[in-house]
Amino acid sequence: MSIGIQNEEVVIKDNIIYVKGSLRLPSPLDYDTYFEPIKSTIETASIDTPCKIDITQLKYLNSSGLTALGRLFILARKKNIPLHIIATSDIPWHKKSIPSLQKLWNQITVDFC
């Protein structure tokens, strides 16, 4: 397995953060730059409006990436910002890992397309 980022993209459009690609970085800290747009959105979001993150085109995320994503969920909990995750049941790690991360905070909702 190669280490790195392939076909990656983080785009914010119509108040939704779209995360795309395959991510295989060696440590959670290596994801800081890649996930910066998500972190910034959470830090500046309003309590009244959930932060929406669409990962339907995020094909692969290793355990370091899941840890980094979990840290963002914890940041949202600290800031009291609800999260709405849009995932797909067509990608196995979405079905397996996202519900586990959802346990980090009761204000995380997940829709599987």
- Report pLDDT digits (tens) over 48-95: 888 999 999 999 999 999 999 999 999 999 999 999 999 999 999 999
Cβ within 8 Å of residue 20, ≥6 positions away: 7, 8, 9, 10, 11, 57, 58
pLDDT of 5 > 60? The answer is no
- pLDDT at position 2 is 41
pTM for the complete prediction?
Answer: 0.90
Q: Which carries the bigger pLDDT value, residue 2 or residue 91?
A: 91
| Cα distance between residue 101 and residue 86, in whole Å | 13
- Measured at the CA of 100, the angle between CA 95 and CA 101, to 5 degrees, comes to 105
Question: Residue 96's Cα: distance from chain center in Å?
Answer: 14
CATH for 74? 3.30.750.24
Is pLDDT of 6 > 60?
Answer: no
Which runs of E-coded beta strand occur in 1-113?
Answer: 4-13, 16-24, 51-61, 83-87, 108-112
Domain count along the chain:
1
User: Which residue range(s) make up the domain with 39?
Assistant: 4-112
Residue 43 has pLDDT above 90, yes or no: yes
